[in-house]
Amino acid sequence: MTARAASRPVGTVTRGTTNPNRLRRMDRWIAAAHGAVLRRASDPVAVDLGYGAAPWTAVELLLRLRAVAPHARVVGVEIEPARVAAARPYEREGLVFRHGGFEVPVPGRPTLIRAANVLRQYDEDQVAAVWERLCARLAPADPVTGSRGGLLVEGTCDEIGRRHVWVALGPEGPRTVTFAARLGSLDRPSDLAERLPKALIHRNVPGEPVHAFLRDFDRAWAAAAPYASYGARQRWIRAVRALTADWPVTDDAGRWRQGEATVTWESLAPRS
């Protein structure tokens, strides 16, 4: 292998579609779920992997993380050199852009890697290897501080960020799956099926756990219809609360009020 081939970024160029504020729901969840780890880290580095044709998501990630971890730094990583060049004028204290891919070309091991709408174009059988590679780059768990280590957040959303589903992974692998939505945009929770991450989107068929989960979520949503008179948020809270009887929901009403519901990865993982 030549030196040039050895240094070539790992991955393929994405469509690059992006919009300001598209990842606000994911960022809000990251700040709540991972803010304490970022604050405790001596050098909290977050990577916006595959930020796209414009740098908006990286700029916004810095602002949102610094609200909970003032020393956080963000590195935007893109595999398309022209996109990196176009983003460079937006660099500032705490924000830089680098050419690269799944090898994550940053010194050390980041506290956070966010990969939104990146794996959508890959085949399902490629996802596990990408996850493994990215998780190996995360900051390790620290038994002294009790930190579970860095976090990889990988998922998919619609073009303006109304509907989003993501998987959270630690150095050891996948932990949870979060469903998040602007509740006024939903007819039923299963509307989120079209935004399932690549690891799950082809598993929304009878016999697979994610299909059963969305079926039960729709039933709970229908049963909570009387609460719609108090607003979609109250209906969502009631539906998620009903889900806890049969599914390992890991968050609480504070997150449900944000239009979120998080369950363990093991409960939705593909059966084969």
The predicted model scores a pTM of: 0.94
Burial of 233 (0-12, 13-18, 19+ CB in 10 A): middle
In a domain, 156, yes or no: yes
Residue 233 lies in a domain: no
Per-residue model confidence (pLDDT) at position 8 = 84
- Cα–Cα dist 35/54, whole Å: 26
Write the pLDDT tens digit of every residue in 195-230: 999 999 999 999 999 999 999 999 999 999 999 999
Residue 173, in any domain of the structure = yes
Residue 88 corresponds to which amino acid?
Answer: R
Residue appearing with tokens 């799956």: 177
Mean confidence (pLDDT) of the chain: 94
CA distance 68 to 38: 8
Task: Enumerate the β-bridge partners of residue 246.
Answer: none
User: Is there a domain that residue 113 lies in?
Assistant: yes
Question: CA 142 → CA 37, 97, 148, 150, 172, distances in Å?
Answer: 11, 28, 7, 10, 13
Q: How many CA atoms lie within 13 A of 179 on its CB side?
A: 27
Per-residue pLDDT for 2 more than 50?
no
Look up the domain containing 122 and give its range: 3-182+248-265
Q: What is the CATH number of the domain that holds 25?
A: 3.40.50.150
Tokens 């070539």 sit on residue: 8
Residue 72, in any domain of the structure:
yes
Is 147 part of any domain?
A: yes
pLDDT digits (tens, 9 = 90+) for 18-49: 888 999 999 999 999 999 999 999 999 999 99
Tens of pLDDT, residues 121-176? 899 999 999 999 999 999 999 887 778 999 999 999 999 999 999 999 999 999 99
Cβ atoms of residues 44 and 72 within 8 Å: yes
- pLDDT tens, 260-269? 999 999 999 9
Q: How many angstroms separate the most distant Cα atoms in the chain?
A: 66
Instruction: Tell whether 271 is covered by a domain.
Output: no
The number of folded domains in the chain is: 1
Give CA 235 to chain center in angstroms. Answer: 25
Write out the two tokens for 263.
Answer: 């369950």
* Residue 54 is assigned to a structural domain of this protein: yes
Residue 250's identity, in one-letter code, is T
Q: Which of 71, 69, 73, 59 is nearest to 33 (CA)?
A: 69
Nearby residues of 6 by Cβ (< 8 Å), 6 or more positions away: none
107 vs 253: CA distance, rounded Å? 38
